[in-house]
Structure 1
Amino acid sequence: MNLKEISDKCVKCGKCIQVCTIYDINRDETTSPRGFLDLVGAYERGELKLDKTAKNIFESCFLCTNCVSVCPSSLRVDSAIEQVRYDIAQKYGIAWYKKAFFYLLRHRKIMDFCAKMGYVFQSCAFKIKDRAMSPRFSLPLVKKERLLPTASKSSFLNANAEFIDNGGEKSVGIFIGCMANYAYTEIGDGLLKILKTLKINAHLMKKQACCGAPAYFTGDFSNVEALAKKNIVYFEKMLESLDAIIIPEATCSAMIKVDYEHFFAQDKEWQERAKNVSKRIFLATEYFEKFTNLKEILAKNAKNQTLVTYHDPCHARKMQGVFKEPRNLLAQNFTLVEMSDPNACCGFGGVTMQSEKYHLSRKVGQNKAVMIENSGANIVSAECSACKMQLSNALHIKNSKIAVKNPIELIANSL
């Protein structure tokens, strides 16, 4: 990426500032999108050193892509920041706990073992209720107030056969995502129920690797390259016999469909392979709404009065244009109410934001929680486990009883 070119193209119109997640809570022009681009240009020209002040600034972006969606020139501010974060990682290294986390995501068998141990011993350090847990005492990087998902007894991939024959003519692959695989396993269970109803065969593609998004947003490009190439090769092989690959996670889907292409910008062979694969990968609700009769099946069931508001994950609406599809499906059985700004970022922001800059993430989450409560809904739905975790925590802090569900869970329950 030519950082100077993207910086020079910014005309400072200010449209990005009005929608910027970090600027909304700190009112600091330095960390507004055009502020970031000014610093990116200065860095490229050699006028800015990547000292700890610069590191702190570039790690304050939530990468929500709000700025990209409103920019008249569609400048990839997020990609520019991701590139600088790579340079920061090269200079300062990556914190040991992030390295450990990325290592586990890259080595599934070891992650499976750690998840099992986590399931056995999680009650020692956490209070567990309703498939969620909060620390019994303050832990490093984890505030006592926080609500986290519990580890499941068995991962989704390990708990099911690799191929499930539903007697159908079509077969789809499932890319489940790490959080849904190890914590929110009800999302995968919901997918299997829907596919059984539709008589579509399900292939769990058990050799899938992490999409690489956590490492990408942190600047660990070596891990991203290894994971992306492994997935692309595997998907190419699997798509020889599958009609499509569906993903119930906006972040994973956006990483594979959009960011792989950005990542391989300097490697045309792998970029082209990423493009070809992306044509047959869909967010789960997108696939069900566009290519199946699920909507008609749901319409035959009774509609209840449960009020559901929908939160648009940044990686779904802004990066993939998916926002009508989940609403169209949910509206068949639930009463939908819109919050004041369903497109506002929830504040998850990635590993660094959740660990080192939780105070920023918390503030954004609280703003979103107010919107959700003001909608009057009983349930808030989002097709992203990162959003589910963030919104659950934000509502927990406010002692709210509003539940957070992936639309796949709600649709499956309606069946």
Structure 2
Amino acid sequence: MGVLADVYGMLSMCSKCGICQTACKTYKVDGAETKVTRGRIQLIKAVAEGKLEPDENYEDAIMSCLLCGECAVACPSRVKGNELVLAARRDFKLRKGIHPFVKSFALKTLANPKKLERAFKLFGGMGKNVLRRIDGVDYFRGVDIKGMNVAKVPFLEQVPEKITVQNPKHKVAFYVGCFLNYSLDQTAQSVVKVLTKNDCEVVIPKGQVCCGLPQYVYGDFETAKVNARKTIDSFLAKDVDTIVVACATCVAMLKEDYPKLFADEPNYLPKAQQFSAKVLEFSQFVAKIGIDQSKLHNSLPVKVTYHDPCHMVRGIKVTQQPRQLLKSLPKVEYIEMNEASRCCGASGLVQAFYHEMSTDITRQKTQNVKDSGVEIVATSCPACMMRIQGGINMAGQNQKVMHVADLLAKAYEG
């Protein structure tokens, strides 16, 4: 059974009760048994037992999963369907490779900083100019491509490796991540501003690479390990107490998945564990050290809600800290929206290859935003920001999606 042998016990725990149907967003859109956790588990089990050859239909079943983890929360037998799908994808990669070519090319591009920078520059320059001249092409597979920001200069080239403050109380390193580096550079600047305003000396190691999660979730552990080692080695070389991450996806990979990734390497595993123990999500860290309320003075009177990224609420289980920070802002009225932890439909490359399904899932999230009556949706994930803002724009709504760090940074202005 190969890779699937390690999870066969969990595969057998599924009682086929169907409670996962109430949680699975892909099932609610598609209605097919192969698009719900119960059905996916039975297919994976059949492959593990040699009763089913992994074909295109099987690939479709395991690749369409959002990996949101909502099924694992709902399951009375505590079956972690998202982890079983990850194992199935790893097994499929070892058997068949990564299909199709476009997906393979995208994953290779994401893993290589030079290729990724060229891709962003191409998109931000010629690509967007071409799109502006094509009537009706505002969105591509549910993504607001015209509205997507591209940094003129990557964030890592805008800042020195160390940003000092007088009498620092904390020494932290900032893992930037691809989106904040190449697209949301102003959000990265906001992170640094909030940290320095709270007496943190900030180290920003140069040569940072993708965390490896895109490759990891499609079973390409080899490429993910290359990037993970670069990240671990470069950050552990710095004299810092905490590694701050402002991307929900990245922080889950760095904190939760790195030790899993190196579980088969006993010589390197302790290093991965040492690294992961230092990792904290941005709002988690800021709430921990506490903010000086006397420095907050310039917030606008707005109604704000919060969207829980899947990797935050069901990954590292950080939910209260971002809300705590938002509620601390002067003049901000916090309103909890319905289904705040509902997946927004982004889920990496799933939104590109299953765009109709993702768009339907996003539509419900944007409706919940509208119903909440807020002006701003705060969140902690760049991918969620892009997905939800695109959904809001497509729906003709006028709410703005912002990172928690951006709202905090604005409160320090003046």
> With structure 2 as the length reference, what TM-score do the two structures score?
0.91
1:93: which partner in 2?
98
Q: Equivalents in 2 of 1:297, 1:126: separation in Å?
A: 46
Among 261, 265, 269, the alignment partner of 1:267 is 265
Among 112, 116, 120, the alignment partner of 2:117 is 112
Partner-residue secondary structure (3-state), 2:380 = coil
Verify the 8 A CA contact 2:20 2:37 in the aligned structure 1. Answer: yes
1:349: which partner in 2?
347
Verify the 8 A CA contact 2:142 2:390 in the aligned structure 1. Answer: no
How far the C-alpha of 1:221 sits from its partner, in A, is 2.4
> With structure 1 as the length reference, what TM-score do the two structures score?
0.90
Name the aligned partner's letter for residue 314 of structure 1.
C
Name the aligned partner's letter for residue 256 of structure 1.
L
1:411: which partner in 2?
408
Q: Equivalents in 1 of 2:126, 2:146: separation in Å?
A: 17
Verify the 8 A CA contact 1:135 1:143 in the aligned structure 2. Answer: no
Structure 1 unaligned residues grouped into runs of 5+ = 128-133
Residues 303/228 of structure 1: CA separation in 2 closer, same or farther (3 Å cut): closer
- Compare 255-264 and 245-254 and name the one that shifted more: 255-264
Name the aligned partner's letter for residue 255 of structure 1.
M
1:61: which partner in 2?
65
Q: Equivalents in 2 of 1:139, 1:370: separation in Å?
A: 20
Q: Does 1:311 align with 2:310?
A: no
Residues 29/103 of structure 1: CA separation in 2 closer, same or farther (3 Å cut): closer
Residues 145/272 of structure 1: CA separation in 2 closer, same or farther (3 Å cut): closer
Verify the 8 A CA contact 2:173 2:203 in the aligned structure 1. Answer: yes
Verify the 8 A CA contact 1:3 1:41 in the aligned structure 2. Answer: no
Residues 136/243 of structure 1: CA separation in 2 closer, same or farther (3 Å cut): farther
How far the C-alpha of 1:388 sits from its partner, in A, is 0.5
Q: Does 1:401 align with 2:406?
A: no
Partner-residue secondary structure (3-state), 1:171 = strand
Partner-residue secondary structure (3-state), 1:242 = coil
Structure 2 unaligned residues grouped into runs of 5+ = none
Partner-residue secondary structure (3-state), 1:225 = helix
How far the C-alpha of 1:143 sits from its partner, in A, is 6.4
Partner-residue secondary structure (3-state), 1:23 = helix
Aligned residue runs from structure 1 range 199-278, under 5 A: 199-238=199-238, 241-278=239-276
Runs of 4+, deviation exceeding 4 Å: 134-148
Deviations 1:165-211 (A, max 9, x none): 12214221111110111011111110111122112111111132211
How far the C-alpha of 1:25 sits from its partner, in A, is 1.8
Q: Equivalents in 2 of 1:43, 1:245: separation in Å?
A: 40
Deviations 1:76-127 (A, max 9, x none): 3212212222333341533333333333333323433443344332432233
Deviations 1:125-170 (A, max 9, x none): 233xxxxxx9756599756975552311001111111111122142
Residues 297/261 of structure 1: CA separation in 2 closer, same or farther (3 Å cut): farther
Aligned residue runs from structure 1 range 162-173, under 5 A: 162-167=161-166, 168-173=168-173
Q: Percent identity?
A: 26
Q: Equivalents in 1 of 2:136, 2:370: separation in Å?
A: 28
Instruction: Let me know the Cα RMSD of the aligned residues.
Output: 2.4
Q: Equivalents in 2 of 1:136, 1:229: separation in Å?
A: 45
